[in-house]
Amino acid sequence: MKNFYILKTGTTFPSILAEHGDFDQWTVNGLETGGKRCRVVNVEGGAGLPDPGDCLAVVITGSHAMVTDDLPWSLEIEKWLPGLLRAEVPLLAICYGHQLLARALGGRVGYHPRGIETGTVEIRLEPEAAGDPLFASMPVRFPANVDHSQSLIELPPGSVRLAVSPHEPCHAFRVGSCAWGVQFHPEFTATIMRLYILAQEARLRDEGHDADALLAGIRETPVAGSILKRFALIAGLA
């Protein structure tokens, strides 16, 4: 039987982990499947990648690592991804995963010239999203929680840009018929987002950001969060 794999590419701040869990747990919660057929593969921790033929679908989590660090486990995922796409396995790549998917297919990733984007921001869908299997019927504008310093600088050839923000020129894209990258975090609750800003408060202030304003602007993001449940439906898990 094929499994729904969650590739864990990082771990949250220790202060968050102890009480609220980690990226993989938040992802399972967002899928709303009760963990049915979900298998977590801690790739950052050294676990091997599954054979594409054994995958019902795959989600790649976020990470505190940087794609351009070229860490060995990250490069292994990059090499593995084209085979997953050739097998037409549904894929949702989040934040770090979004950037990794893009680079694996010929896109370009790097530090955003305007620095970190964090907090609750407005996402705007591109016209192409209206006919997309994952984004169709979603509002053209919706809030999402974000936290990233690197960005997708250049889309991979043949991909379709689906969403942007005032800061970020590509918050979502699709390549092929069933592989998506999203820069925002559909798995983040308002509580998690608030804790992320608090954990980075000194850095944010040093870089000229108004941490108090960022905290005041945080809210729940159910439309962004629905991406996980939508993906579970596409994968046949829900």
Q: 18 with 197: CB under 8 angstroms?
A: no
Q: Is there a catalytic annotation at residue 185? A: yes
Active-site residue flag, 78: no
Nearest residue to 224 (alpha-carbon basis) of 163, 174, 177:
163
The span from the CA of 12 to the CA of 27, in Å, is 13
Q: Which listed residue (44, 126, 187, 209) is catalytic?
A: 187
Look at residues 35, 19, 17, 16 and name the one whose alpha carbon lies nearest to residue 27.
35
Cβ atoms of 214 and 197 closer than 8 Å: yes
- DSSP letter, residue 45: T
Q: Which helix (H) or strand (E) holds 213?
A: helix 211-216
H or E element that contains 94 = strand 91-94
- Give the active site residue among 98, 148, 171, 185: 185
Gap between the Cα atoms of 85 and 206, Å rounded: 41
Name the phi and psi angles at 78, rounded to 5.
Answer: -55, -45
- Give the active site residue among 95, 171, 178, 209: 95
Residues acting as catalytic residues = 95, 185, 187
